Amino acid sequence: MTEAKERLCRRIAEKEKTYSDISRKIWEYAELGFHEYRSAKLLQDTLEAEGFQVETGLAGIPTAFKGTFGTGGPVVAILGEFDALPGLSQKPGRDTQEKREETDCGHGCGHNLLGTGSLAAAVAVKAYLEESRGAGTIIYFGCPGEEKGSGKTFMAREGCFEGLDAVFCWHPWDVNGLFSSSSLADICAAFIFHGKASHASASPHLGRSALDAVELMNVGCNFLREHVIPEARIHYAITNAGGSAANVVQETASVYYEARAPRLRQSFEIFERICEVARGAAIMTGTSYKVVRGDGFSDYIPNKVLGNVLMENFREAGAPDFDTHDYALAEKIQSTFSEEIMQEAVTAVEDQHGENAAAEMEGKVLADAVFPINPLKTVMPGSTDVGDVSYQAPTGQILTACKAFGTPGHSWQEVSQSGSSIGIKGMITAAKVMGMSAIDVFQNPRIAEEAKKEFLKAVKGGYHCPIPEEIKPDL
């Protein structure tokens, strides 16, 4: 490890309590997407105190912001998130489910750690730029509404991530390694049908059922599933069944759909076919309908050049150094998982990191190794708005162990651990790896050049935002 990187890691370690306190406060706030006012303010105030120039209200979102330090290129950005989830209230560091009295929400995806770890990396890189007196710019992006709201997608639509040379990010996980797979693009929309109310027994022939249209649309889309690519996913939920009176022909009814696929263009193609099914359902029932577009995500394009840089530094930094207290809590947490959950965890780690990774985690409660890069041909069966960032700038992402192996996302067990020392140690490791990687880009601008070449080839055709201009963030 170079002297500059050693100093960066030392700075982060020396301020671990400060970052632990920030993370814990955001954990306690547990604010939902686009309402993370206290969390965003805490991060903004910290950036300003550290000498960053802070700009708020990005993309018209009050809790979206960026903190910038430095001049010239390369321009390196680090992404931070800080929103919580509803219905996941839980006390910290507990091995039993115990709700907090003051809130119904909780950090079931560890975004209190994510936003703070990225902050720690950015502050340490700023100190490096001051010492080296070289050209370069570090930017911390405060990205709200990831859990529900597509915050980064709206920010990307406004060009917030254009012109960046490298973007680094991370996510709390149950193992250590590179997030090297792509994700599913996702197009979302509500289909609202309008018919004609009538007495269902005395004059059903005078009515036109909007609920019939919804049900026929669902039947048509269920048949459509056989005729889309195997990796695609089509989800729906009836959001308005037209009322509870069975003797009334329902005048209005609506259904919400999501079309997921490995590439954004594929999602758009499937979505257009769903729209055709809706048109057919309206024709069959004599109703009218309208489509109201909602959230959307682009597929994530991992940049291999930046991934290699991250992993070189991850190997140097090593896995989080957990202590006996951490292992004791993790063992108790893991004991609450069913055999099915643990089998799913083994399958997931094998899919993402290879057969050796699955063998490595056998019998372990906390990941104590950094898995090597596993060339993946599979797609993560989920969606993230980091995908939209990856369409505007080269992006690399790591995963660090912040919870017991097998911990399901969006669970009370994860909320408990994201407020514990297990989460903090994984967070500090992530900060070091991202900070060291940023130093590499500043010291060797050729990394940025190669990353940009790969990026331009991967996003040939440019970025087409999955959310139309007329759709605004749900503030």
Exposure on the CB side of residue 339, measured as CA atoms within 13 A = 0
- Predicted confidence at residue 42, as pLDDT, reads 98
Bridge partner residues of 235 (DSSP): 258
DSSP class of residue 226 equals G
The rounded distance, in Å, linking the Cα atoms of 319 and 329 is: 18
With beta carbons less than 8 A apart as the criterion, state whether 97 and 85 touch.
no
The rounded distance, in Å, linking the Cα atoms of 276 and 279 is: 5
With beta carbons less than 8 A apart as the criterion, state whether 451 and 74 touch.
no
Residue of 235, 241, 252, 315 whose CA lies nearest to 289: 252
- The whole-model pTM stands at 0.93
The rounded distance, in Å, linking the Cα atoms of 384 and 302 is: 12
The most distant pair of C-alpha atoms in the chain lies apart, rounded to whole Å, by 86
Residue range 3-182+299-458 forms a domain whose CATH class is alpha beta
Positions of the chain with pLDDT lower than 50, given as ranges: none
- Predicted confidence at residue 162, as pLDDT, reads 95
- Predicted confidence at residue 377, as pLDDT, reads 65
> Residue 305, Cα to own-chain centre: how many angstroms?
21
Q: CB within 8 A of 161, min separation 6: which ones?
A: 77, 141, 152, 155, 167, 388, 389, 392, 393
Residue of 49, 25, 63 whose CA lies nearest to 123: 49
Q: What is residue 192's three-state secondary structure?
A: strand
Residue type, 356: N
pLDDT digits (tens, 9 = 90+) for 189-200: 999 999 999 999
- Predicted confidence at residue 1, as pLDDT, reads 86
The rounded distance, in Å, linking the Cα atoms of 92 and 229 is: 42
pLDDT digits (tens, 9 = 90+) for 392-442: 999 999 999 999 999 999 999 999 999 999 999 999 999 999 999 999 999
Residue of 145, 116, 102 whose CA lies nearest to 423: 116
CB atoms within 10 A of CB 84: 28
- Predicted confidence at residue 475, as pLDDT, reads 85
- Predicted confidence at residue 379, as pLDDT, reads 83
Domain covering 185-296 in this structure, CATH number: 3.30.70.360
- Predicted confidence at residue 354, as pLDDT, reads 83
Q: Both ends of the chain: CA-CA distance in Å?
A: 45
Domain segments of the chain: what residues? Answer: 3-182+299-458, 185-296
With beta carbons less than 8 A apart as the criterion, state whether 81 and 146 touch.
yes
